[in-house]
Amino acid sequence: MGETVSVINTVDTSHEDMIHDAQMDYYGTRLATCSSDRSVKIFDVRNGGQILVADLRGHEGPVWQVAWAHPMYGNILASCSYDRKVIIWKEENGTWEKTHEHTGHDSSVNSVCWAPHDYGLILACGSSDGAISLLTYTGLGQWEVKKINNAHTIGCNAVSWAPAVIPGSLIDQPSGQKPNYIKKFASGGCDNLIKLWKEEEDGQWKEEQKLEAHSDWVRDVAWAPSIGLPTSTIASCSQDGRVFVWTCDDASGNTWSPKLLHKFNDVVWHVSWSITANILAVSGGDNKVTLWKESVDGQWVCISDVNKGQGPVSTSVTEGQQNDQ
Amino acid sequence: MEEFDGEPTVTWIPGVNSQKKQMCFDWGPGEMLVCETSFNKKEKSEMVAGCPFIHIIRKDIDVYSKILRKLFNESHGIFVGLQRIEEELTGKSRKAQLVRVSKNYRSVIRACMEEMHQFAVADKDSAIGRQFSSQVSILSAMELIWNLCEILFIEVAPAGPLLLYLLDWVRLHVCEVDSLSADVLGSENPSKHESFWNLPGNTQTLTELELRWQHWHEECERHLQDGTFASNPHLESLCKVLLGDDAALLEHKELLSNWYHFLVTRLLYSQPTVKPMDLHLYAQSSLDLFLGGESSPEPLDNILMAAFEFDIHQVIKECSIALSNWWFVAHLTDLLDHCKLLQSHNLYFGSNMREFLLLEYASGLFAHHSLWQLGVDYCDHCPELGRVSLELHIERIPLTTEQKALKVLRVCEQRQMTEQVRSICKVLAMKAVRNNRLGSALSWSIRAKDAAFATLVSDRFLRDYCERGCFSDLDLIDNLGPAMMLSDRLTFLGKYREFHRLYGEKCFVDAASLLLSLMTSQIAPRSFWMTLLTDALPLLEQKQVIFSAEQTYELLRCLEDLTSGRPLCGEPDAQQLQDDDIETTKVEILRLALARNLARSVIKEGSLEGS
């Protein structure tokens, strides 16, 4: 009963140029992709199939990222592009259409990330103009914009929201009354820094923390989902080849300590946590995606390499699991 | 710094240019996407078509195997039963129960093995057949390990019977009959042998047994030394075997399938009353002698060795690595935990090993369209981290049918997972609205206690009414009950429908009062007032006077309010800009009707007929 990592489906996106991002929706039933060919495509991938649901045109440059909103808001997808725009697409009556366009940036928008659904429908966007903008849906097709200028000098490369944590007691709030969430997100930029942002009571966003450890541009940050423990965890990766895992013991306040996961030989572009935050996937310049897990003694162990190449489709090599001791 | 415990596996993704490009990826709820990309964001694309494929990869096809599904289902039943075992039971009865549980697990493995074996045999020459075969051997290994753990850790066989258990264990798992023992029975001193085998139920003490064995052993030795069997090399060899001579045993290595068979045979002839704590000495030497430096131990050997050394944690660790499937390790660890054999081995983030393994196993189940329900139970029995794990997983279960959605909701409601209930109901409400199933959308928003959405759906209902002149989903609206209070718009919808009902039942006075109150209490949105006033017309035109003078004044005031074009708070007055002519005519008709009613009501109230 060996556990193998196998390709279970291959979707031919027919993108005419480089694919920059691919994202599964909440349930794993749909796939959104975006490309240098300026299009955003959506596929239905249930049961190993692949049906093109939409081919969305609207960007005037390579599209860097896509992000699915929580299904309770409907089928909504955000995309950001070199053309300095962020477009929000929505499915209405079975067809996908552009529902909003945000043009508030002076430079390429590199990253988009939806906030936890508990906060409402809020999108954070990071741009090469150094600013981060936050779009909040206020109803009736209206989006309110808040902008953090000069968040990172030279440019912002990544944004990632903290999971929603209800502060104080967990008594069920009466209906209609929203609990007072403390909204936070992390950003990574060309100033080699990771910054943590917090929304103040007056609705303004303030820089709460700077995390310094990288010696080159921070390419991606990923705030781990909450698994019910009092610690917060953020992963970051950089042009300097390093991946750090930052933890903060919430009881003590705001001290974040970095732990070096690994130093790669090349730029590390992308980090991402699995749904239950127990595996961190890292995409590196060494052309591999590696999966990492934390072992008993707090060390990070590589459990799998997903390597691209000309090899056969499913080489069933029994996966070496991490030790549980 | 990282450690590498064993080589990480490399999985190749086909068709991607490994020279220049990288791979980007994303997590799905149960799988991963990878595709070729170039992270270097250049403004001008290279205009070279990269690989347009996106690969969806997933660990673990096991969940999808029909035969294994039975294993998962049945073991789930055993697991849940085990959790409920009476804590008060102590000592012998508790042990007996735990042994029974262990045997149940093993029989489930064996049943699965047998079924798979049949498939393997039927499809012998195909790749699938070979796959089945390999799965059978893996299951067999699992049963072997579990059985040994049962003997050593759960049964906790004391010295003496320990060997018998081990003998059974070897016999069960080794296909070849111990031909040596057959020879033994046919050789000299059979009676002594027979009485030896009569140990179960034997009233002799261990010491007595040892003495008798010693005596017999010495006799054998004497025979050997005296050369009794000198004429027959076969018998002499046999005698040496009976004396537990390693070299002699190893000469017949071909009859021993493996080192643990060798171990048990050695013990049988040299240390039949071996104590558990001494077992590991013989185990290690057996392994070394049997392998003879020609080959190195395999993972299975390491696991068994760890068991013989009574190192439970090592057993679990080795199993996790070698078997790479959480099912075995999760269930075995849980059982051993119930035997109170695991110190709470703290993992870095504070949970214990049992929970860690059970939740890893459960995670795999959630990916499956029906096995997810089993996953829920496993989470339930992990008091520290189970709940959060369940919360994370349950929201990701695709709600493909109403039935499934209701099942998922029931799970959440039973566990007071109110946030998840709300979130799921909101998703369902949104889906229903998109498919124009307003009644369904309304009931989901009520269940989600989502006031905003309820308002939205109520507005749609009202809009529908204006367009079509009738309500859909009357049953639902009529029976809202206290849920009506969720939002003002919903309350209005409910009350408005009530107005229609009263009118239908000809309770005109009540209907009239209700209609008026809807406006005066500000529950009705301004945009709807014209409709309400128009609804009043038939009541004004009745032969009998329905609206009192005071009520008529109120209605007039409402009409004036509406037509005076006063700026209203937050309500768009789009209605007034359209169809001005029709509006004017309507207003005129209303004014006339109200004036007439005013006159009639004044007269009526002024006269002596009363009520």
At B76-123, the pLDDT tens digits run: 999 999 998 866 667 778 888 999 999 999 999 999 998 888 888 887
Q: Is B126 on the interface with A (CB under 8 A)?
A: no
Q: How far apart are CA B136 and CA B118, in angstroms?
A: 10
pLDDT at residue B13, as a whole number: 66
Residue B388: is its pLDDT beyond 70? yes
Mean pLDDT per 10-residue section of chain A, whose length is 325 residues: 55 83 88 92 87 94 94 94 96 91 95 94 96 93 93 94 69 53 93 94 91 94 85 92 89 81 88 83 74 70 57 25 26
pLDDT at residue B349, as a whole number: 41
CA-nearest residue to B10 within chain A is A305
Q: Is A296 on the interface with B (CB under 8 A)?
A: yes
| Pairing label, strands A156-161, A142-148 | unpaired
- Please answer yes or no on whether A323 and B363 come within 8 Å at the CB atom: no
- B163 close to B152: Cβ distance less than 8 angstroms: no
> How do residues B458-501 score in pLDDT, each as one tens digit?
988 888 888 887 777 778 888 888 888 888 899 999 899 899 88
Of A172, A313, A324, the CB nearest to B353: A324
Q: Is B67 on the interface with A (CB under 8 A)?
A: no
Q: Is B47 on the interface with A (CB under 8 A)?
A: yes
**Around Cβ A116, how many Cβ atoms within 10 Å?**
18
- B56 close to A9: Cβ distance less than 8 angstroms: yes
The residues facing A63 across adjacent strands are A81
> How do residues A172-227 score in pLDDT, each as one tens digit?
445 445 567 889 999 999 999 999 999 998 889 999 999 999 999 999 999 998 87
- Please answer yes or no on whether B27 and A3 come within 8 Å at the CB atom: no
Q: What share of chain B has pLDDT > 70, as a percent?
A: 78
> H/E/C letters for each residue in A132-196?
EEEEEEEECCEEEEEEECCCCCCCEEEEEECCCCCCCCCCCCCCCCCCCCCCEEEEEECCCEEEE
What dihedral do alpha carbons B476, B482, B484, B485 form, nearest 10°? -170
Residue B181: is its pLDDT beyond 50? no
For residue B391, the one-letter residue type is E
Q: What is the average pLDDT across B16-23?
A: 59
Q: What is the average pLDDT across B547-564?
A: 87
**B 337-396: CB under 8 A from A:** 345, 347-350, 353, 356-357, 359-360, 363, 385, 387-389, 392-393, 395-396
pLDDT at residue A322, as a whole number: 26
Q: Is B1 on the interface with A (CB under 8 A)?
A: yes
- Indicate the average pLDDT of chain B: 79
Write out chain B residues lying below 8 Å of A325, CB-based.
313-314, 316-317, 345
Residue B570: is its pLDDT beyond 60? no
pLDDT at residue B360, as a whole number: 87
Specify the higher pLDDT residue, B604 or A191: A191
Of A24, A311, A312, the CB nearest to B33: A24
Specify the higher pLDDT residue, A303 or B320: B320
Q: Collapse the DSSP code of A245 into the 3-class scheme (helix H, G, I; strand E, B; otherwise coil) and give the result.
A: strand
pLDDT at residue A75, as a whole number: 93
pLDDT at residue A312, as a whole number: 27
pLDDT at residue B59, as a whole number: 59
> How do residues B453-462 score in pLDDT, each as one tens digit?
899 899 888 8
Of A18, A75, A117, the CB nearest to B423: A117
pLDDT at residue B199, as a whole number: 39
Q: Is A304 on the interface with B (CB under 8 A)?
A: yes
| Chain A closest-CA separation from residue B158 CA (Å) | 29
Sign of the C-alpha dihedral computed for residues B167, B172, B176 and B181 taken in this order: positive
Q: What is the average pLDDT across B527-548?
A: 86
**B 436-465: CB under 8 A from A:** 449-451
pLDDT at residue A228, as a whole number: 72
pLDDT at residue A102, as a whole number: 96
**A 48-67: CB under 8 A from B:** 61-62, 64
User: Would you mind telling me the total number of residues written for chain B in this entry?
Assistant: 611
pLDDT at residue B379, as a whole number: 95
Angle, vertex CA B192, rays to CA B186 and CA B193, nearest 5? 50
- Please answer yes or no on whether B398 and A312 come within 8 Å at the CB atom: no
Angle between helices B127-149 and B161-173 (to 10 degrees): 180
Residue B561: is its pLDDT beyond 80? yes
> How do residues B229-248 score in pLDDT, each as one tens digit?
677 777 777 777 777 777 77
Q: What share of chain B has pLDDT > 90, as a percent?
A: 20
Q: Given pLDDT bands bounded at 50, 70 and 90, which one contains residue B177?
A: very low
Of A10, A24, A323, the CB nearest to B317: A323
Q: Which two tokens stand for residue B337?
A: 């935990």
Q: What share of chain A is helix, strand, coil (3-state, %, to 5)?
A: 5, 55, 45
Q: What backbone torsions phi and psi does residue B584 show, to the nearest 5 degrees? A: -60, -45
